[in-house]
Structure 1
């Protein structure tokens, strides 16, 4: 497939926008910003407590209705106990794998280097983003949220492997599901019974690169994202990379190895769907200045089912008027109205990376390392990781969580993680996020030292849910033991989470609803 020849005709785009359910949302042509355009209005809270009290989303899956507690004070004792919030202090694991609160237990589902039960090779390394889908006795379902009814019979997990060239354990190249034979990333698929015993484990897609995160579609497939921008002929690759791929976990519905080119070629991190409109939101985890963008993709066939994203669509980037860098905003509760969406000039980034392209007189809004992304209630939430002045960003912090409300066209800073904030985690750099069964969030840490999964309650209290005991950032147990891919089973009884390295997938059960 000639990737450089793919384009969506502008006339077709206009037709799609005119009839699509999001046609009433704000859009801006790339080079037609009017001098008289409405400026984005910014509201800043007077105190963090007042700000957080105002940022709860009515009817949303989570709501922060009080001040975020400075639970962890940065001492070794505080880090090891996790305080008294959440499910209680973490109990050291005698097996040295995963520390959990009392009453919780884990099961190891998969380890890198072990033989794949499919016989295709070894379990690949660098476990990253992941999602859980319901398994049914009578065929495949028709969308998210159907895992509670009749016929539920276990869980499918689809797991990314963020392998670059020269990885420890590459994803095996398997006929029919390999995009670029020179690339070593991809996804594996696990089928679990209702007791979390592994029935099946095999390659879902191979020949992709740096598969970081992604997200579930509305029709129960996994969109895996390449966090790279290498083109064919660079670094040993034979095809262009930096795309999104749709992965099916059932054999009845084969995975296509053709990339979803209209969704853009950039350093993808995660995606989230608006279930009402079918709009897909995308984050870009760019490491260098001017850093990444927050995107939305308007499909030609919104909510069209498996394979429909190949029909193309329009890729737009978010512009917050007069805010070139989101890292400059550090007061929780700060909100911006009049968000603009600007069409990306060249989604395939043939010559220039998207974040460096010309978005007209108003420019475009960047953010430091956009990470996890998910839909909750009527809003999309996304994470930006640490910002440092030495990196060219405007403020120092350990990360942010933002909320965009399409129905209000409003962006709000919900959480800022230390230093000198109301959320001082024992570590730093939030990454993957998901909703917790009791409300609130689960946040994977990707920083220095010991790595945690943190919970953020509905009231804004932060607590430690799990700690990686395999890899704590010490000389004996070196760094890069981050958590990734946190997700819950459709019945909300099991949390699945990965240790990045050594690659390990855990199933955690316990009194979640308490």
Structure 2
């Protein structure tokens, strides 16, 4: 079925957008709680139904769903530390005591511009930097009990990921050094954040995990190895990394103890963009020690990895663990940018126990490159096994679901118009995640910074 974005928006009764995926969609749901059943029921009925316009002009949802605004940029933080920062991005949800939930939310701020994260003693890395994280504490009904700074003085906090020990790893998507753009310290690191007790983790860069344009991470729960993506959309393109911690698992100090950083080499494949066929499989993947993880003189992706070189990819973004494999996204590749080929998004699967890399899904543009078949950003698995894609593009912005059959259906649509009558514009979605019990979807609107809790008949 072919459809344009305009046609979809005009058909208020349409719940399933055109298929824009090829490959083994079932790969994306490996290891999920309901990989064998619940997702099939959802896909069979074509999503949750049409999106209904929100009278309040904030968030359009299907019938039976409702939202609560948890936090908006500019409002006072409940801690009294200052205003809620802007540029809401990646987010994780963690179980607390007595049924409570701790949300840790990234703020992708640079040195100038929107509302920065307030500096707090003991939680600030570089006072000149305006990024960081805030933490919300919610009760079982999504009432906000507390909201405070969780880390400050970091830069361009884009995505990250949860650890098996219930902390959040927030990633700086920059390589700016001290003395650049007013910064007083080097940036480009990962920081660990405890949403329940931020002072336990403080503001300590995990330098052994590398200094580069970090995007997202995923942790192998059996080994504690952390996989990391590098979001570089211009040459030199990014690498896919793994960090082998000296203390593999468990709580305080496990990552601070250091470890080894390695980059993935696929023999004979210097650029992942040239692989176009889903199911393409590469055995014997190699991991090469990074010569200088601190990138003191040369960015890691430009360092000398020996005569065999290293494997690059444009726009490496989303990353998550499922089953016995790590999945990571290349958002797009373009010949005009210097990639070896053009594509509209890939999902790769790496199986550590087999040292095998497989291209499992290719996105667009078989129907319309403006559908979620183009440029996937961060992706999220629901507790029942569905896949959610946060849209980041032109025009109306959606959270889309994808069934195992490849059906694409709208879950939410942003209704906050930040443009003009002549040129309407909507902020992208980011940070989609679920409560530990699966009853609530939490999602951010990047601009204006808004955090929603969405409840309804999730399955």
Residue 187 of structure 2 corresponds to: 241
SS in 1 for 2:377: strand
Q: How does 1:451-470 map to 2 (within 5 A)?
A: 451-470=397-416
> Could you tell me whether the CA contact under 8 Å between 2:381 and 2:387 is conserved in 1?
yes
Q: Which stretch shifts more, 468-477 or 227-236? A: 468-477
> Could you tell me whether the CA contact under 8 Å between 2:22 and 2:363 is conserved in 1?
no
Residue 373 of structure 1 corresponds to: 319
Query: Matched residues in 2 for 1:511 and 1:413: separation?
Result: 33
Q: Deviations over 1:152-181 (max 9, x none)?
A: x22100000000011210100111100000
CA drift at 1:472: 7.6
Residue 382 of structure 1 corresponds to: 328
CA drift at 1:422: 10
Query: Matched residues in 1 for 2:284 and 2:67: separation?
Result: 46
How many equivalent pairs are there? 436
Structure 1 segments of 4+ aligned residues over 4 angstroms from their partners:
48-51, 53-65, 421-424, 472-480
CA drift at 1:251: 3.2
Work out which of the residue numbers 29, 36, 52 in structure 1 matches 2:24: 52
Query: Matched residues in 1 for 2:119 and 2:28: separation?
Result: 47
Work out which of the residue numbers 206, 224, 232 in structure 2 matches 1:278: 224
Work out which of the residue numbers 156, 159, 177 in structure 1 matches 2:102: 156
> Could you tell me whether the CA contact under 8 Å between 1:451 and 1:472 is conserved in 2?
no
CA drift at 1:480: 6.5
Q: How does 1:231-270 map to 2 (within 5 A)?
A: 231-251=177-197, 254-270=200-216
Residue 361 of structure 1 corresponds to: 307
Q: Deviations over 1:252-271 (max 9, x none)?
A: 86232120000000000111
Q: How does 1:301-316 map to 2 (within 5 A)?
A: 301-316=247-262
Unaligned runs of 5+ in 1: 1-47, 66-70, 72-82, 138-152
CA drift at 1:460: 2.8
Query: Matched residues in 2 for 1:415 and 1:471: separation?
Result: 32
Q: Deviations over 1:394-437 (max 9, x none)?
A: 33332122111112211112221111379972573211211113
CA drift at 1:438: 2.5
SS in 2 for 1:254: helix
**Given the alignment of the two structures, is residue 167 of structure 1 paired with residue 113 of structure 2, yes or no?**
yes
**Given the alignment of the two structures, is residue 487 of structure 1 paired with residue 433 of structure 2, yes or no?**
yes
Q: Deviations over 1:72-96 (max 9, x none)?
A: xxxxxxxxxxx97211222222222
> Could you tell me whether the CA contact under 8 Å between 2:32 and 2:384 is conserved in 1?
no
Q: How does 1:68-107 map to 2 (within 5 A)?
A: 85-107=46-68
**Given the alignment of the two structures, is residue 324 of structure 1 paired with residue 265 of structure 2, yes or no?**
no
**Given the alignment of the two structures, is residue 224 of structure 1 paired with residue 170 of structure 2, yes or no?**
yes
**Given the alignment of the two structures, is residue 136 of structure 1 paired with residue 108 of structure 2, yes or no?**
no
Query: Matched residues in 2 for 1:450 and 1:386: separation?
Result: 20
Q: Which stretch shifts more, 235-244 or 246-255? A: 246-255
Residue 451 of structure 2 corresponds to: 505
**Given the alignment of the two structures, is residue 396 of structure 1 paired with residue 342 of structure 2, yes or no?**
yes
Q: Which stretch shifts more, 285-294 or 459-468? A: 459-468
Query: Matched residues in 1 for 2:442 and 2:25: separation?
Result: 31
Query: Matched residues in 2 for 1:338 and 1:482: separation?
Result: 38
SS in 1 for 2:378: strand
> Could you tell me whether the CA contact under 8 Å between 2:370 and 2:393 is conserved in 1?
no
Residue 15 of structure 2 corresponds to: none
